[in-house]
Structures are given as C-alpha cells and as structure tokens.
Amino acid sequence: MKKFTALAILLSFIMVGFMACSKSSGSTTTNLDTGSKQAQSAMTINFTATQTGDGSITTLTYTVGSTTQTVSNPSLPWSKSVDASSGDYVSIKATAVTTNGSVTITYDGQNSTDHISGKDSVSTSSTK
C-alpha cells in the first residue's frame, strides 16, 4: 500500500509538471497604460490605438485634464484628437486581448515649444 501511495504522489507531481510546461493556445488579456504626463503649454493631443493580427481592445480610456472618455470595443485602428490646456495631464489606458498579434496605444502632442508623448503595447504569439 505504501508503494501505491508513493507511486500515486509521484505521478501527480509528474502530471503537474507537464501541465505547467504546456503552451496555452488561448488569448491573453493585458492592461495597457501609457502613464500620465503634463502639458506645459496648450497643444492638440493625438491619441491612437492600432493592432496587428488578432489584437483587439475591449475598453479604451483617454484623459486630458479633468475630462475622461471611455470607448468600448473600438474598431482598430482608432484615433482621436483633443485640445489640451497648459497644465493638463494626459494619458491613455486600454484592455487589450491578443492571441497572435499586437496592440499599441499612444498619445502625442506638440506645438512650437513643447512635445509630450506616451506609448504602451503588447505582442503575443501562440503555437499549437
């Protein structure tokens, strides 16, 4: 009986090891966040979201100053331009889903004296 119990425990550890090493063919959900930067002067901020392969976004949230907008399931590529005032904080966040592809979110603002930008991305590939 002791041999059977030891064998069962050993087989359990082997099975757990194989399951931990197997590659997942499912999709990956990732929270993207560019971080926040402050505009030092008035400028237009260009927000973008792009994808390759099967990349998609379930929610996208962009902020300029005290205004925050959320877009659900945006069609990619997506873009939006928003005017920022001096002192406004700017950011963009998204929940991306990928299996074989990538998603990139960015913001970029520039005028004659200042420039701010932010970017985040995720890339995944699945092998069967």
Whether residue 11 is contained in a domain is answered as no
State how many domains the chain has: 1
Range of the domain at 70: 25-124
Per-residue model confidence (pLDDT) at position 72: 98
Whether residue 16 is contained in a domain is answered as no
pLDDT digits (tens), the chain, 128 positions = 555 555 455 445 454 443 433 344 588 999 999 999 999 999 999 999 999 999 999 999 999 999 999 999 999 999 999 999 999 999 999 999 999 999 999 999 999 999 999 999 999 987 65
**Structure pTM?**
0.78
- CATH number at 50 reads 2.60.40
| Both structure tokens of 35 | 């971080």
Select from 48, 31, 40 the least CA-distant residue to 94: 31
Instruction: Name the burial class of residue 80, with classes exposed (0-12), middle (13-18) and buried (19+) by CB atoms within 10 angstroms of its CB.
Output: middle
Per-residue model confidence (pLDDT) at position 26: 81
Whether residue 107 is contained in a domain is answered as yes
Whether residue 4 is contained in a domain is answered as no
Whether residue 85 is contained in a domain is answered as yes
Per-residue model confidence (pLDDT) at position 76: 97
Whether residue 8 is contained in a domain is answered as no
User: Rounded to an integer, what distance in angstroms lies between the CA atom of residue 73 and that of residue 56?
Assistant: 8
